[in-house]
Amino acid sequence: MSELKRILYVEDEPDIQAVAKIALEAVGNFELLVCSSGEEALTKVVEFSPDLLLLDVMMPGMDGPTTLNALWQIPEIKSKPAIFMTAKVQPDEVTGIKAIGALDVIAKPFDPMTLSEQIKTIWNDNSL
């Protein structure tokens, strides 16, 4: 199993970005690249070479699923696992997100103190 170190995080809300950045860097000791849009993620993802893609579902322009599909078109990124974060966590919505290839869904609002552990648990449960 590979070690999870680098996370590409795509989120359009600055307040949520700030909380997640602290939660993942200070609490989780991850190296994080925060992008504010799918378009920005597409321009930076190859150089950053993340272990995991962490995506908001609802964003203006390219939404999370569209962003993931575009990222997976990039040869160096096509095998990277993804987790989505969203306030829409009804069972049918979660099933739909998993159907496009996501490992799991983390509900918003999230607990900053447990976010890193949630991500590590999903990573380990999928034996990545």
Report the alpha-carbon distance of residue 57 to residue 75 in Å, rounded. 23
**With 60 as the cut, is the pLDDT of residue 128 above it?**
yes
| 8 close to 54: Cβ distance less than 8 angstroms | yes
**For the segment 36-56, what is each residue's pLDDT rounded down to a tens digit?**
999 999 999 999 999 999 999
Q: Tell me which CATH homologous superfamily contains domain 6-125.
A: Response regulator (3.40.50.2300)
Per the structure block, which two tokens stand in for 63? 């939404």
At 2 the pLDDT is: 77
Quote the mean pLDDT of the chain: 95
Domain ranges of the chain: 6-125
**With 70 as the cut, is the pLDDT of residue 10 above it?**
yes
**For the segment 60-76, what is each residue's pLDDT rounded down to a tens digit?**
999 999 999 999 999 99
**Going by C-beta distance under 8 Å and a sequence separation of 6 or more, which residues neighbour residue 89?**
105, 107
pTM of the model: 0.95
**With 90 as the cut, is the pLDDT of residue 89 above it?**
no
